[in-house]
Structure 1
Amino acid sequence: MNTLDCLVYISRSKLTHEISAQELADIVKVSAFLNAQASITGILTLQDGYFVQMLEGAPAALDLLMIHLHFDERHEDIVVVARERISRKQTVGWAMIAPPANREPHSQLSKLLANPSASIAPWRTALLELVADPA
């Protein structure tokens, strides 16, 4: 059986508000391609000036991706807030997905950013709601 981990990291965005929507779309497009090759799935959003990303995949693949993310100049102060072993992926079929650019901030995600949980569950719930709800 293959081992899977889920991790959530947050980082401070260095993008200006004017270009953040297009830049996020570009990040998702490139990430979807690269993540598919590494069997990584995930959700990425930009909220309250922070990137929030949940990633699911093999532990070694996630470790390698996190190393690469530290060299991305679009963000800084990367912190893995939660990481756990999982039995199955919740983001099957999404190498990478993001909510629509005009989406209102998610209140639970704002609360988690203010007081980060070390548990995957609340992050996973908030991010899945964010991409599932078309509002």
Structure 2
Amino acid sequence: MNTLEQLVYCSRSRLAREDEAAAMADIVHVAAYLNARNGISGALTLQDGMFVQVLEGSPSALDILMLHLHFDERHEDIEVLCRDTIERRDFPAWGMAAPSRLQSEALGRLIAARSPDLCAWRAAMTELLVEAA
């Protein structure tokens, strides 16, 4: 049986404002390749100096990716806010989507509250992706 999980984490960006766009492009480029190879999909955004990422994949693939993320110097204070088993992927079309130029009030509230509500995070990220399309 293949278990599929989804997790959401936030982290504080260490990027200078003027470097954010280039860094996000680099993250998406590398993640698209590596995540596809490891069966991971998801969405990433940067809002108010905070990275928010929804990741989907096997539990072991997510564990390995989270370990690697702790060594990425572009961010700090990684906090996994929620993680649960899911029936299907919510972001299957993206190796990694990054609607970084858009801001979301709902996402801002979730970041401030450090909400453990996976459904709320999923909805906020989906809203950003729809707006970015």
The one-letter code matched in structure 2 to 1:50 is M
| Residue identity opposite 2:71 in structure 1 | F
CA distance in 2, matches of 1:87, 1:49: 32
Gaps of 5+ in 1: none
Q: Structure 2 CA distance, aligned partners of 1:61 and 1:102?
A: 28
State the secondary structure of the residue aligned to 1:98: coil
Q: CA RMSD in A?
A: 1.1
Residue 97 of structure 2 aligns to a residue in which SS? coil
2:45 maps to a residue whose letter is T
Q: Tell me the distance in 2 between the aligned counterparts of 1:65 and 1:134.
A: 26
Counting only pairs closer than 5 Å after superposition, residues 86-97 of structure 1 correspond to structure 2 as 86-97=86-97
Q: Distance in 1 between matches of 2:122 and 2:95?
A: 16
Q: Determine whether 1:26 maps to 2:26.
A: yes
Aligned partner of residue 133 in structure 1, secondary structure: helix
Question: Would the aligned equivalents of 1:14 and 1:75 in 2 still touch at CA under 8 Å?
Answer: yes
Q: Tell me the TM-score normalised to structure 2 length.
A: 0.96
Q: Hey, what does 1:66 align to over in structure 2?
A: 66
**Partner amino acid for 1:95?**
G
In the TM superposition, residue 102 of structure 1 has moved relative to its aligned partner by 3.2
Matched, 1:125 2:115: no
Which runs of 4 or more aligned residues in structure 1 lie more than 2 Å from their structure 2 counterparts after TM superposition? Answer: none
Matches within 5 A, 1:25-104: 25-99=25-99, 101-103=100-102
Residue 112 of structure 1 is matched in structure 2 by 110
Equivalents in 2 of 1:41, 1:75: separation in Å? 20
Alpha-carbon shift at residue 7 of structure 1 (Å): 0.1
Residues 83 and 119 in structure 1, CA contact (< 8 A), matched pair in contact too? no
2:11 maps to which residue? 11
CA distance in 1 between counterparts of 2:117 and 2:83 reads 7
TM-score by length of 1: 0.95
